[in-house]
Amino acid sequence: MTDTTSHIGKRIPRIEGPSKVTGEALYAADVMVPGMLWGRTLRSPHPHARIVSVNASGARELEGVHAVLTGRDAPPTMVGRMFRDLPLLARDVVRFAGDRVAAVAAESVEIAAAAVELIDVEYEPLPAVFDPVEATSEGAPVLHPDVRSYGYVPDPPPGWPLPHLIPDDVPNVQSYVKWSHGDVEQGFAESDLVFENEYRTPPTHQGYIEPSVSTVRIGEDGRVQVWMTHKNPFPGRAWLAQAIGVPEDDIVFEFVRIGGDFGGKGDLRDAPLAYHLARLTGRPVRFAMDYDEEFAAASTRHGSVIRMKTGVRRDGTLVAHRAEAIFDGGAYAAYKPRPEVHLVGPRHLGGGYRFEHVFMDAACVYTNHVPAGFMRAPGEPQVIFALESHMDAVAGELGLDPYEFRRRNLLADGEPSAAGHRKTGLQFQAVLDAAVDAAGWHEPKPSAPGGGRVGRGLAVSNQKLGTGFSVAVAMLLPGGEVAVRTGVPDAGVGSHTMLRQVAAELLTLPLDAVRILPGSTDESPWDMGLGASRHTYVHGQAVASACAELTGKLKETAAESFGVPPEEVTLERGTFSHPGGDRGLGFADLAGTLAADGPFAVPGRFLHPGDEAGTECFSAQIAEVEVDPETGQVRVLRLTTGNDPGTVINPLMVEGQIEGGVVQGLGYALMEELRIVDGHVTNGSLVDYRIPTAADVPPLTRVLVEDGTGPGPFGARPIAEYTVAATAPAIANAVFDAVGVRITSTPITAEKVWRALHAAESREGRAS
């Protein structure tokens, strides 16, 4: 990319970095409010049971305990991010092992922990369901018999697709969506060959280091102060207002840093309980989940069962595609942020491929598992693992090179996707070709360093733009500096650094003349918060809008001084001038007029123009692996990833997002699984739940196809989420290339490969 800018495309360090490494940055766990009590919850040991009785007298009598809440003491309010199906405390029934039954507030965390052990609960176990397919079968235990009576926060607009749009005789459905065009059965009849496969993925956890913290204080004026690990402060304030029955304006979410998120820190966690205990005791109350609770009761990535049936012509042309996904939503849908409580990923059941006939549908269903929510690229790693494994199998059966097969069938610019969306500015072919060239796809495979067999695998993924609405305020300060007030937090992705670069570039100022001011919900303009890879696009455009408004006001003021029309005033390197003028005015000069009595502020707004507007982002990944046929052990030798960032605003952050996504995809492929046995999490700690370390990461080659046509500031595209989805199928396809067995579930463990190899040998033996 030609260097025509001062700040865009530069490797600018994160502005919050020094405060984080010195310990100055304030996280929710750092907040110690005077007089604070410690909260603790009692959680169900049963995945499904009726609560017969609760005796909390022992806890109430323990010295140092100030309040105890049971389901019968708490208001019967149902809460949720958008769909309200989660009680504050279980009243009659518990639906997963980890469901909250009671809560206490005490002088110390040790006393609180001892108190919950003194609460005696009598349970009557009920039949449970753990498999999402079984949950939809006739005779399955119905976990939410009153599901259709649950409400929303807020009520969705007219015409919004609500959940439960399938027949009443299908039990335990949280939501259902479908897409179709053509006649899929006719398409299968017209196909030369038809292929069917089933794929399964388990639930996984975000693996953030910082646990969830919720601290609530009720002021003398009745206002509610909240310090919590929450990535959506303004929506979170609305959800909490509904949950506790307090007007939104009487609640303030204070600004704290967020120690990792990956989609997992967007629900209310224990904040409603902290409020009710603070109201009862007259003192602030804090809940801090330990990692046993994080794994047993937090917002996981959905497990899935995905079935695919695809018809093709002998030349490799895709004709018909039938795809069905059933996602394990766990015991509640409250953790999902969309009114229809569904995932975005299922729209990619047909990926970026061209089909003549399509029928795709997906359901999220209730089970007696940990409630599922959102994790990086919600639903996409599951769907893309299935689709790209399936496409590879189809190509192999046809005797076609996996690259040529994909190249032949990928969408061209403006063609409708399997979900019926037409996108422009697609870089599918360019990114695929660049990644394949960088990986040496057509070159001979190297010898195995460990004496095993080497294979290469390819997978692709595409993702729509994140939507949303954002407001930013640009302020000219009396000294001539500019401050940008924003309500968007930063969970480590570098949002504030990016916003500073955008503002400084548009205002033609040095970076140190621009400040980014995040703050509380009282101090900041309304913002949707983090999620959906919308930071650069939505928040960046809001800042760009505010800078344009400020520039316009400054030009008007300069024009008055120059005695010329505003349209003749130009801005370059922080100086306003006009043709033929013998002097210029800088920001400091104009501040004397506009900001004489304090900051001169103008707002900027950006609203995504429509859910299906714009382009799609694309990633192509190639894995090179070595497989030991004696043990089934898989070792990734090399990964290559191609992406289309449009314009790179900050290479450091783009590289970090790509590498982070690919490493998460590596974990998803080879090791990550929240093991749940009979409803109980059996690896609920960062010791037992495996995620990749630096030693697990192979050499990684990044290929960026920059075209400067993205919808974000300066032509940027999102990068954060879609780097994660193609890694697992690329590795699975490489394993097949190496040893000829296809693993159809994640994680791809040595045991699965070994068993598949021995099963193949047994079949060959019987055949001979």
Query: Which amino acid, 402?
Result: P
pTM equals: 0.94
Please tell me whether residues 140 and 276 are part of one structural domain: no
- What mean pLDDT do residues 477-492 have? 91
- What mean pLDDT do residues 286-314 have? 94
Chain centroid, CA 231 distance in Å:
11
Q: Which CATH number do you get for residue 110?
A: 3.90.1170.50
Please tell me whether residues 279 and 390 are part of one structural domain: no
Q: Calculate the CA dihedral of residues 680, 683, 685, 691 and round it to 10 degrees.
A: -130
Percent of the chain exceeding pLDDT 90 equals 73
> Structural domain of residue 369, as residue ranges?
129-205+299-422
- What mean pLDDT do residues 129-147 have? 94
* pLDDT given for residue 767 in this prediction: 67
Assigned domain for 322 exists:
yes
pLDDT digits (tens, 9 = 90+) for 87-100: 999 999 999 999 99
Assigned domain for 433 exists:
no
Q: What is the band of 47 on the pLDDT scale with cuts at 50, 70, 90?
A: very high
Q: How many domains does the chain have?
A: 3
Q: What is the band of 607 on the pLDDT scale with cuts at 50, 70, 90?
A: confident
Question: Cα separation of 551 and 545, whole Å?
Answer: 10
Q: Are strands 634-646 and 700-706 parallel, antiparallel or unpaired?
A: parallel
Please tell me whether residues 242 and 363 are part of one structural domain: no
Between 234-243, 354-363, 613-622, the lowest mean confidence (pLDDT) is in: 613-622
Please tell me whether residues 538 and 499 are part of one structural domain: yes
Assigned domain for 585 exists:
yes
Q: Which CATH number do you get for residue 524?
A: 3.30.365.10
Query: Which amino acid, 375?
Result: M
> Which of 246, 278, 297 corresponds to the end of one domain?
297
Please tell me whether residues 274 and 406 are part of one structural domain: no
* pLDDT given for residue 2 in this prediction: 39
* pLDDT given for residue 511 in this prediction: 95
What average pLDDT does the structure give for the chain? 92
* pLDDT given for residue 766 in this prediction: 65
- What mean pLDDT do residues 353-365 have? 95
Please tell me whether residues 284 and 308 are part of one structural domain: no
Please tell me whether residues 179 and 280 are part of one structural domain: no
> Which of 547, 581, 607 corresponds to the end of one domain?
607
Question: Cα separation of 371 and 338, whole Å?
Answer: 15
Look at the alpha carbons of 187, 419, 402, 381 in this order and tell me if their dihedral is positive or negative. negative
Assigned domain for 729 exists:
no
The phi-psi region of residue 37 (left if phi > 0; otherwise alpha if psi is between -120 and 50; otherwise beta) is beta
Between 221-225, 525-529, 610-614, 664-668, the lowest mean confidence (pLDDT) is in: 610-614
Please tell me whether residues 521 and 571 are part of one structural domain: yes
Question: Cα separation of 168 and 173, whole Å?
Answer: 9
pLDDT digits (tens, 9 = 90+) for 312-323: 999 999 999 999
Helix (H, G, I), strand (E, B) or coil at 755: helix
Assigned domain for 580 exists:
yes
Label each residue of 177-207 as H, E or C. Answer: EEEEECCHHHHHHHCCEEEEEEEEECCECCC
Please tell me whether residues 199 and 225 are part of one structural domain: no
**Run of H or E residues at 652:** helix 651-670
Percent of the chain exceeding pLDDT 70 equals 96
Helix (H, G, I), strand (E, B) or coil at 9: coil
Question: Cα separation of 757 and 745, whole Å?
Answer: 15
Assigned domain for 431 exists:
no
- What mean pLDDT do residues 506-533 have? 91
pLDDT digits (tens, 9 = 90+) for 502-517: 999 999 999 999 999 9
* pLDDT given for residue 3 in this prediction: 46
Please tell me whether residues 287 and 315 are part of one structural domain: no
Q: Calculate the CA dihedral of residues 587, 589, 592, 598 and round it to 10 degrees.
A: 20
Assigned domain for 682 exists:
no
Six-digit token string for 279:
């109201």
Which are the catalytic amino acids? 721
Residue burial 165-183, b: 16+ Cβ < 10 Å; e: rest: eeeeebbbbbbbbebebee
Residue 467 scores a pLDDT above 80: no
Please tell me whether residues 143 and 289 are part of one structural domain: no
Question: Cα separation of 192 and 319, whole Å?
Answer: 9
Compare 613 and 6 and report the one with higher pLDDT: 6
* pLDDT given for residue 1 in this prediction: 35
Please tell me whether residues 316 and 379 are part of one structural domain: yes
Six-digit token string for 331:
């015991």
> Which of 422, 451, 480 corresponds to the end of one domain?
422
Assigned domain for 455 exists:
no
Question: Cα separation of 738 and 635, whole Å?
Answer: 11
C-alpha distances out from residue 485 to 78, 474, 475, 477, 518, Å: 34, 6, 8, 12, 6
* pLDDT given for residue 377 in this prediction: 86
pLDDT digits (tens, 9 = 90+) for 172-229: 999 888 999 999 999 999 999 999 999 999 999 998 888 899 999 999 999 999 999 9
Question: Cα separation of 493 and 326, whole Å?
Answer: 31
Residue 536 phi, psi (nearest 5): -65, -45
